[in-house]
Amino acid sequence: MSRQFPLSHVSLPVFIRLVILAVLISAPSASGAFNLERDFAMLDTVVANADKYMAARQNAILEGANHGPFSNDIERYTYYRHMFEEYKKFSSDSALVYVRLCKRTAERAGLVEESMLADIDMLYITTLQGSFFVADSIVRSLPPIENFPPSLRQRVAMVMMQYELRVRMFVSDPSNGNVFTRMGSMPMPWLW
């Protein structure tokens, strides 16, 4: 007598045959989901078109920003500033686009303090991105902190400390240990 499996009307050998049959039938459909050659080709296409996507995104931002319902440059600057503040939280590339628009609009409108603020924000974003050559050129173009309006000096100091900390952290100097040991040797919890 054959032993009965929990399914009372199906014997164990029949049940095993059914399971094997189900596995064999479903195997080709499951393996079709993992076609590495096709997936790599799709990834290569996306990577190859990344510049086109980024250019289209940049153009869309500029198109919307340049043709907005602005009656004057101050409204335009205010809009760009708002968009910069929103984008800096999650998309540094878009934030950089808007801070450059802030800078251009502030200069065109003769807003000196706002233009200086845009410089500081550009330094902040490029530092966070790790674009140290760009950040370095911005730092070299900035006036001394005493020449900034009092309302911007604290922000200038914070951004400059962030810049110095990150540059010092990633500069290659074997005598000071690697990046990780240097990170532990600079306690500035209030900065983060």
pLDDT above 70: residue 51: yes
One-letter amino acid identity for 110?
G
pLDDT above 60: residue 146: yes
CA-based torsion, 6, 11, 12, 15: positive or negative: negative
What distance in Å separates the CA atoms of residue 36 and residue 105, rounded to the nearest whole number?
49
pLDDT above 80: residue 110: yes
pLDDT at 85 (0 to 100): 93
DSSP-assigned beta bridge partners for residue 11: 4
Architecture of domain 52-172: Alpha Horseshoe (1.25)
pLDDT at 41 (0 to 100): 82
Mean pLDDT to the nearest integer, 94-100: 93
What distance in Å separates the CA atoms of residue 122 and residue 113, rounded to the nearest whole number?
14
% of the chain at pLDDT higher than 90: 39
Q: Give buried/exposed letters for 22-51 (b at 16+ CB in 10 A, else e).
A: eeeeeeeeeeeeeeeeeeeeeeeeeeeeee
pLDDT at 47 (0 to 100): 76
pLDDT at 178 (0 to 100): 43
> In the chain, where are the structural domains located?
52-172
Structure tokens at 191: 């900065």
68 vs 85, which has greater pLDDT?
85
pLDDT at 105 (0 to 100): 95
Put simply, whether the predicted model's pTM sits higher than 0.75 gets the answer no
39 vs 184, which has greater pLDDT?
39
